[in-house]
Structures are given as structure tokens and as C-alpha cells.
Amino acid sequence: MAATSLSKGANLPIDARAVRVELSWSEGPGVPDVDASALLLTAAGRVRDDGDFVFYNQPNHASDAVTHLGKQRAAGATSDTIGVDLGSLEPAVERIVLCASADDGTFGQVPGLMLRLLDDGTRTELARFEMEAGAETAFIGGELYLRQGRWKFRAVGQGYASGLAGLATDFGITVDDAPPAVPVQPGRPTQPTAPVQAPPTPSAPPAPPTVPPTAPPTTPPSPTTPRLTKGEEHLPVDMRKRLSLRKQQVAVSLTKHGVAGTTARVILVLDASGSMSSLYSRGIVRDVVERMAAVAAQLDDDGEMQAWTFASNAARLPDLRLGELPEWLRLHVRVGELSLFGRKKARKGLEAGQVDMRMIGIQNEEQKVIAQVRTYVRENPAVAPTLVLFFSDGGVYRNAQIERELREAVEEPIFWQFVGLGRSNYGVLERFDTLPGRRVDNVGFFAVDDISTVPDQELYDRLLSEFPSWMAAARQAGIL
């Protein structure tokens, strides 16, 4: 079948089950780099959520039907390719918009801009569309769309001066501080969504008060007496009072479960995927971290807690030192900054130790952070067991990979306590208690509709309900 050269607006039917959409351009001095991406839309012309955006920071759709395949260079030209398995698309997806963005430049500076449609099985070229552009920084090259049960391809050639963030917002992606979409060429009216506001930056904490030395107790502390934790005296008065009360409540929970006075290393894991944006902006994640600091302070008196964040990728955060809790919350409890869309240059304004959240992406890849935590524990052995407090709002889809990581971790001195924050689809995390073939049950899970409404004592009781029984079973099995 001979390839068809398309003009703007032209379309053709597609007989192939799977296709590749290849965007190519000529290299040269001053030519900006270009990145291809794809938006999966419903009949309403909108994404269902941020997971329907496939780009360099989120290269695989949850359905595995759309994939960012990456760049190739040859003979003075560069190409970036999106793969689409039309036969595997979910029924709700009726249109795939094929986009591109220019890094540090405009598409008018990109010579030889062309979009090619290929049969994925035979690599036969089905169509090509040569494009011209001007001041646009984002571009819709073409689209795949369903018409009367059959997939077709249309050459679009519409540019956006507001960049990829503006284009994505136009189709329903939630973007922090996103500009409104501005089509350069005539197109349908824009429909920007309200941006997700970043959480307010708290004011600097007051100078720590002078704390008089405390005389040593004349009687041994009771099992529910909170441990004195390193750095606690440097906290603002109100935070120190909250911490002291919460440590007592953690101690009460440990006593209820028959493990008063036990010690453990505590590791915190925070979901930073796109769907978590509102929980960050409303301060809910910030409050969760402060409540978990009390668990770490009571179980381990070194005043430190290791922490990770994750979405499409995982990253270790700086250790949370109790005396620096207010500043740690300000610097490190942040969700992904989707509006920036960058990964080639470090973000301006990052403070020392901060993770560039653009590198984290927006998709759920729990298995990556589980693997990193396992590696850390292996490389940093401790006498005490490790309790991982793992917070996510769902959207779990890498079930096989997650199950493999957690099954392999059965023989390790780690208990994984997962907490669902009220969305849905927790996948294997919710089912793990019933999965056979493990010497010990190393995973706990519970979900809450709104964690901010759960009293501290109830939350700590639920967090620590399965950890003691795992410790007993792990000791009997020789794991501890």
C-alpha cells in the first residue's frame, strides 16, 4: 500500500491494529529540541484524569495501549515516536490527540517538521503530513479518532502559543498555575480547567523557646510514657505540644497491642501522582506527615525518619529530622509541578536538598519506590525492624510488579503498612492479605474516606494493628 501525503484537515481510514506516529525534524544550530506526546480523550473531548496524558515523564498509559517510544537520530534528522495499539484501547477512549512541544524555542525554528503514520507490525508508511509553523511552542500534529466503529487519522496542524501546559489544560489536564490555552491557528474554543493552587508557604517558625532542664524521674516511666526524642526541644511551642500528645497516643496503641516499649525504624512514603494534587493543596498531606512524625518519634528516639516520594518515578527526600519539622514540611511536602513539563534543565528557585518534582511525573508506579526502599534497608541494616508507612490515593495498576516486590520482601525485616486516602482502585495492595504462599504476612492495608477527620488515637490504632503480629511471626520464622 502506497503512503498517502496528507494536506491539513485531510483524513484516511486505518486498517492496521497498531500504529506508530513518528514526528521528525531536521537538526541544526539553534533548532530547539522537540518532544512528542499524546492525549487520550473520551467522546466529550476530555481526558478522564491526568493518567490519560502520555509524555516523556509518563511514557506508558495504564492500559499499555499508548506508549512514548522515545527519540532516534540519524543522518541529520531526529524523530520522536508514539506507539498506539488501537485494539487494546479502552472502550471509553474515542480520540487520541498527537501533540508536540518545543523546548526553549518555537516551532517556526524547527525545519523539516513532518508527521508520519506507520503500521506498527510491518513498519510500512501509511501517511505523511508536512507541517509549517510560526510562533507556536506547542503543536497538534494529528489525531486518531473513532468514527462508526472504525479508526481514522486526521492531519490537524494546529499550534498553541501557550505551550504544552496550555494545550494540555485545554483537554482537561489539571495543571498548577497553567496559562490559558491560546490556539495560534483557528480551532475549537478552549475549555481550561481551574488550576490547582500550590499550598501556601507557611511563615517562618518562631524562635525556639528556652526549655529549662528537667530533673530525672524518680520512678521508672510507665509503658505509655512517650520517649524523649532528639530535636523535640527546638520545635515551636504549639507543634511540640501536639507532638507530645500524639506520642502518648502512639504509646497507648503499642500497649494495647502488647508491644509497649518496642523500637523500630520508620520510613515514610508519599504518593505525589496527579490525582493527589488536592490533598497537597488543602494541607492534608502536610498534616499526615506531622502525625506520622509522632510515630517515628515514639518508635525510634534518634529524631530522624527517612522519606520517599513517588509518581511515575521515585525519589528519596532528605531525612526528616524532628527539630527541623516545620522547615521540612515547607520544603518537601509538595506534589508534582505538571505545568512546567520540563526535565532537561533544573528548575530555577529549587532550594538545597529539594527534589525537582517535574522529574517525578504524575502516574502511579508504586513498584519503583518499593524497590528503592528495599534496597535502602538492605544497604543500611538496623537491629530494629523497619515499619514503612505508605500513603496513596489509589490508581494502582502495576499489580504484577508490585506483588513481585512485596513477595520478595517477605524474607526482609520490613513491614509495609499501606494507607488509602479515599480515592479508589488499590489493586493488589487491598488484596495482599488474602494472597497465599508467604511465610509471614508482611503487608497491612486500610483506606479512609477523609483522613483529616480520623482522630489521632483511632488512626494510630489502625496503623499499628498488624505490625505487632508481623513482628511475632517474623521472629518465629527467623526473619528478625
Please name each of the domains of the chain with its CATH number. Answer: 4-170 (2.60.60.30), 232-476 (3.40.50.410)
The answer to whether residue 289 scores a pLDDT higher than 90 is: yes
**Mean pLDDT, range 299-314, rounded to an integer:** 91
pLDDT digits (tens, 9 = 90+) for 460-474: 999 999 999 999 999
| Per-residue model confidence (pLDDT) at position 150 | 94
Note the pLDDT of residue 219: 41
Kindly list the strands in the beta sheet with 33-41, ordered across the sheet, starting from the edge strand earlier in the chain: 11-13, 150-160, 138-147, 95-103, 33-41, 53-54
What pLDDT was estimated at residue 144? 96
Question: Residue 132: what pLDDT?
Answer: 86
pLDDT tens profile 369-409: 999 999 999 999 999 999 999 999 988 888 899 999 999 99
Report the percent of the chain where pLDDT is more than 90. 56
CB of 360 within 8 A of CB of 272? yes
Position 210 scores a pLDDT of: 40
pLDDT-derived band at 340 (thresholds 50, 70, 90) equals very low
* pLDDT for 180: 44
Q: What is the pLDDT of residues 411-426, one digit of tens each?
A: 999 999 999 998 678 8
pLDDT digits (tens, 9 = 90+) for 439-451: 999 999 999 989 9
Question: For residue 9, what is its C-alpha cell?
Answer: 484537515
